[in-house]
Structure 1
Amino acid sequence: MPLFQNATFHISAHKLSELPPPAGVEVAFAGRSNAGKSSALNTLANHNRLAFVSKQPGRTQLINFFSLGNDRFLVDLPGYGYAKVPEAMRKHWQLTLASYLSQRPCIGGLVLVMDCRHPLTPLDRQMLDWYSPSGKPIHALLTKSDKLSRQAANQTLQQVRKELEANWGNCSVQLFSSLKKQGVEEAETVIGRWLFTPEDDVPDAVA
């Protein structure tokens, strides 16, 4: 059974004051608009509609918490970088995301979702700069890997790994395809280790 099979919607927040009290462990998912973040969450949870998927970028405009039980949460952050978002909203989310990533004490790790055809954009680098001073782990999902040949995808993987290690440290990276269901077990293993301790009743995927 997929590690996040039992994920259920918990709460949405528009601003930091609406976040639930910091408790347990949260794994945050961040990514540029239309990078495949919501699709990746749905694939990991084996659920078609856990996170809203739209062909129109910029639709995720709230911080959405999905509960795994026992104060363990997946947190879907608003997509960034969509040009048609009003300037006031862009500034609001820039401040909110920066504050959440740098100040939230219960984040166990950041999953940075990037389209493998366009990785490490300036805004992706900004997210890494906000989060990396925490010293907590970062895992990059290079989504839509089915859009590239195997050789091109692996070249991108190596280039991104090299840059992450050189500039931000404590990073891992993998190829991922929601369409082909590729990379799911690898992602489950990494994220599961952030969420669960050896004392927890951990699903087989992260044992």
Structure 2
Amino acid sequence: MNLFNGKAKFITSATKIEECPPDEFPEVCFAGRSNVGKSSLINAIVNRKNIARTSNVPGKTQQMNYYQIGDDCFFVDLPGYGFAKVPKKERERWGRSIRKYLSERESLRLILSVIDARHEPSALDQDFFYWLASNEMPFCVLMSKADKLSNNKFAQSKKAVKNILAEMNIEVPILGYSASSRKGIPEIQELIQDFIKE
């Protein structure tokens, strides 16, 4: 089985769990702050330039965007959190919809929590890690833009993330990657395949 042969297509956008497609395929979702690069990551994983629409405008993804990957699974790009220019009521609505999706979607196999390798996880990132762990959800942390750091600096950043998680008694995979150079993408593909196969 090779999920990542370029056979990927956009299916639909959902604002709440009731609008999600029938859960016939296992799902992997991508979560993180606005503009952290979730769409670029999806494109890199499926070896397509613009299957997921990337934007320089934070807060652009306002629904759960569904992509069908071959005949094997769905990728779900969640709305980014922490973008101040979106009205508070709208942010709260997204938050409720996302929590409901994460905790009730039967076909969800893995949550990829994307953070920027150049910065320490924000309070929102840390709250999200804690919430996922408290609800016993399968997740891993992906550190984007790893190519912007020297190997030494990246190792320091990764250790800092590991320590933050350890303080919460969380032990999950932490992988670094670059969507542009594709460094680390094969490891992420492998991780996803392992969860999809289960």
Normalising by structure 1, report the TM-score. Answer: 0.87
Matched, 1:25 2:15: no
Distance 2:166 2:110 in 1: 16
Mapping for residues 1-207 of structure 1, pairs under 5 Å? 3=4, 5-70=6-71, 72-167=73-168, 169-197=170-198
Shift of 1:4: 5.5
Distance 1:40 1:4 in 2: 15
SS of 1:42 mapped into structure 2: helix
Instruction: Kindly indicate whether the alpha-carbon contact (under 8 Å) linking 2:120 and 2:160 is maintained by their aligned counterparts in 1.
Output: no
Instruction: Kindly indicate whether the alpha-carbon contact (under 8 Å) linking 1:165 and 1:171 is maintained by their aligned counterparts in 2.
Output: no
Identity of aligned residues (%): 36
Distance 1:31 1:159 in 2: 18
Distance 2:24 2:163 in 1: 34
In structure 2, the CA distance between the partners of 1:71 and 1:81, relative to structure 1 (3 Å rule), is same
Q: Runs of 5+ in structure 2 lacking a partner?
A: none
Shift of 1:195: 1.1
In structure 2, the CA distance between the partners of 1:183 and 1:135, relative to structure 1 (3 Å rule), is same
Letter in 2 for 1:38: S
| Structure 1 ranges of 4+ moved more than 4 A | none
Instruction: Kindly indicate whether the alpha-carbon contact (under 8 Å) linking 1:113 and 1:140 is maintained by their aligned counterparts in 2.
Output: yes
Shift of 1:121: 1.2
Q: Runs of 5+ in structure 1 lacking a partner?
A: 198-207
Distance 2:169 2:19 in 1: 30
Distance 2:172 2:5 in 1: 22
Letter in 1 for 2:58: P
In structure 2, the CA distance between the partners of 1:35 and 1:140, relative to structure 1 (3 Å rule), is same
What is the count of residue pairs matched by the alignment? 197
Instruction: Kindly indicate whether the alpha-carbon contact (under 8 Å) linking 1:102 and 1:130 is maintained by their aligned counterparts in 2.
Output: no
SS of 1:95 mapped into structure 2: helix
Distance 2:5 2:167 in 1: 31
SS of 1:171 mapped into structure 2: coil
